[in-house]
A and B are shown apart, each in its own frame.
Chain A
Amino acid sequence: MSTATDILSAMREVAHTRMDPMRRDKTRITIQVGHCSQSIGATQIFFSVAEALPANSYLTIAGCNGACYDGPQVLVTNPLGGQRLYTNVTIAGLRDILDEAKGEIPGNSDFMSNQNRVVLQGCGDIEATEIDDYLARGGYEGLAKALSGTPEDVIEEVRQSGLRGRGGAYFPAALKWQGARAINTGPRYLVVNCEEGEPGLFKDRHIMEGLPHRLLEGMLIAAYAAGTSEAYIYINAEAELSASRMEVAVEQAYEQGLLGKDILGSGFDLEVTIMRGAGGYVCGEETTMLNTMEGDRREPRLRPPFPTEAGLWSRPTVINNAETLSSVPIIMQHGAAAFAEVGTDDAKGTKIMSLSGSVRRPGLAEVPMGTT
């Protein structure tokens, strides 16, 4: 067993000792609070539940589970692990949920069962504002595994998984890291592209709100593989809640020693800064993003040179999409083969689809690549 895995398991023990005394044998009431569900009253529901919390239960905040059409939603987990999801919750209807007497059986569950949730696994259940819950559920295991091997091992594993960039260009992720790594002059940078500028898309925002630590974990693994020690998370101007969830997550990761110097005793360092965009579809285009980070006008650059050769401040820069990076912990944790099981021949894994407009059930669905 390597030191990184040892340190992580010790960390998980501590997370349990922090959480368990307050929570053991109690019912967990999870309010799914996202940017969207806030607009239909999720915050008010949270405060109402907090005021009238039933005995023997505790309250947590998670991101939404992607069933926008059914929001706001409340997930109740009994001490034995049985779960019940309450949909279209109103303040008036809260009494029934808290009494757990007349609650309705969640409808439309085929929306969930027809999906293949890998990247979004646990979204809507895992606490979005505390690192302990993520750690207790096997979080950062992918990072520990990555740090136990060499960066080349990580690149090889991700190359075998066939992971391609989920921002839309579908460039193989491992090649990007290798490209930046091949240039032997530091410093190199990693930019996490969460500037989701395309009208109609809201998946990156959703990941940041529901699973901020999975994104951080993926970012850490990518930084290790690409040989960077400085990362930027570039978040959309509209995504206020995402930015605050990421800020909290970054702070917690620093406290735990998962960011900063000598991460998990491996000698690998990473410093993270959160940047905010200021509107407009074009900000998500990678060279435009770099321009805005350097204080220039919001305009694309000519390519070549590509960012992996000359990006931020003309240094080698890896730019990965939030969804791409959130897939990386799963690849490292369960192996390339498990990830590549679904998808098509040249596009492996799953993809998160944003459904909205003239559809009956708007929301987010994660399905294997190639699904039509």
Chain B
Amino acid sequence: MTTDRNTLRATLRQKFPRNRGQLLPALHFLHEEFGYLPDWAMELTGWHLGIPISEVYGAATSYTELRTVKPGRHIVRVCTGLSCWISGGREILEKLQSELRISAPATTPDDRVTLEEAPCTFMCGMAPVVELDGAYTGRASVDSIQGMFSEVAGI
């Protein structure tokens, strides 16, 4: 895990040629490395690629899949694409919101769970879909996800 500036600077130098087209791949790399885009890391990336930091931030915040706020230890995403929404995704989201006492997108005060809506996970044939820490569950229901979440979310 890259935690200090010097390591990140070296990694960026090694992985990404200095041209503007590398910005999105570099942002993906940061996102995978940290789980979100820390300000200082975006700043280093801008310096490395020769892109003004304001533009790095501007590009980064225009993507729905990139977080700029640190998420909780577990990430739960409920697909609320059309097919999932009408097949029960809405009930699942409401249930999770009321159990966690937060309104998506948000993180519980103890930093345990981040709850997000996914605009569409493109698994519409398996609607409704819920994602927990990168693993998807299709044909989900309020009942079927209960066990899955009781462990991580304490609900």
Instruction: Show the binding face of A for B, using Cβ within 8 Å.
Output: 35-36, 38-40, 68-69, 71, 196-202, 205, 236-239, 275-281, 292-299, 313, 354-358, 362-364
Instruction: Show the binding face of B for A, using Cβ within 8 Å.
Output: 20-25, 27-28, 49, 51, 55, 58-59, 62-66, 81-83, 86-87, 118-127, 129, 136-139
Nearest CB in chain A: distance from B130 CB, A:
9
Nearest CB in chain A: distance from B123 CB, A:
5
Can you pick out 8 interface pairs between chain A and chain B where the beta carbons lie within 8 Å of each other?
A: A275-B25, A279-B64, A296-B59, A297-B62, A298-B62, A354-B125, A355-B125, A358-B86
CA distance in complex: A200, B138 (Å): 15
Q: Given A68-B125, A356-B124, 11 more contacts at CB 8 Å? A: A36-B138, A39-B137, A71-B125, A199-B124, A200-B82, A276-B28, A278-B27, A356-B83, A357-B82, A357-B86, A358-B86
- When A295-B22, A358-B86 are in contact, do A39 and B136 touch as well, CB less than 8 Å? yes
- When A279-B63, A357-B83 are in contact, do A295 and B125 touch as well, CB less than 8 Å? no
Residue in A36, A275, A280, A364 with the greatest tally of chain B CB atoms within 10 Å: A36
Q: Which of B64, B82, B118, B125 contacts A36 (CB 8 A)?
A: B125
- When A296-B59, A298-B59, A362-B125 are in contact, do A38 and B65 touch as well, CB less than 8 Å? no
CA distance in complex: A255, B54 (Å): 42
CA distance in complex: A198, B120 (Å): 8
Are the CB atoms of A362 and B124 closer together than 8 Å?
A: yes
For chain A, what secondary structure do more than half of its interface residues adopt (helix, strand, loop), or is it mixed?
A: loop
CA distance in complex: A236, B119 (Å): 13
CA distance in complex: A196, B139 (Å): 22
- When A39-B129, A278-B27, A279-B63 are in contact, do A202 and B122 touch as well, CB less than 8 Å? yes
CA distance in complex: A196, B86 (Å): 20
Residue of A nearest to B122 (CB): A202
Are the CB atoms of B122 and A201 closer together than 8 Å?
A: yes
Nearest CB in chain B: distance from A290 CB, A:
10
Q: Which of B23, B27, B124 contacts A354 (CB 8 A)?
A: B124
Are the CB atoms of B125 and A363 closer together than 8 Å?
A: yes
Residue of B nearest to A278 (CB): B63
Are the CB atoms of B59 and A237 closer together than 8 Å?
A: no
Q: Which of B21, B86, B122, B138 contacts A239 (CB 8 A)?
A: B122
Are the CB atoms of B123 and A281 closer together than 8 Å?
A: no
- When A200-B81, A293-B21, A295-B23 are in contact, do A40 and B28 touch as well, CB less than 8 Å? no
Are the CB atoms of A278 and B83 closer together than 8 Å?
A: no
Are the CB atoms of A294 and B21 closer together than 8 Å?
A: yes
CA distance in complex: A240, B59 (Å): 22
CA distance in complex: A276, B29 (Å): 11
Are the CB atoms of B65 and A278 closer together than 8 Å?
A: yes
CA distance in complex: A215, B129 (Å): 27
CA distance in complex: A355, B87 (Å): 13
CA distance in complex: A239, B122 (Å): 8
CA distance in complex: A40, B138 (Å): 6
Nearest CB in chain A: distance from B126 CB, A:
5
Nearest CB in chain B: distance from A183 CB, A:
21
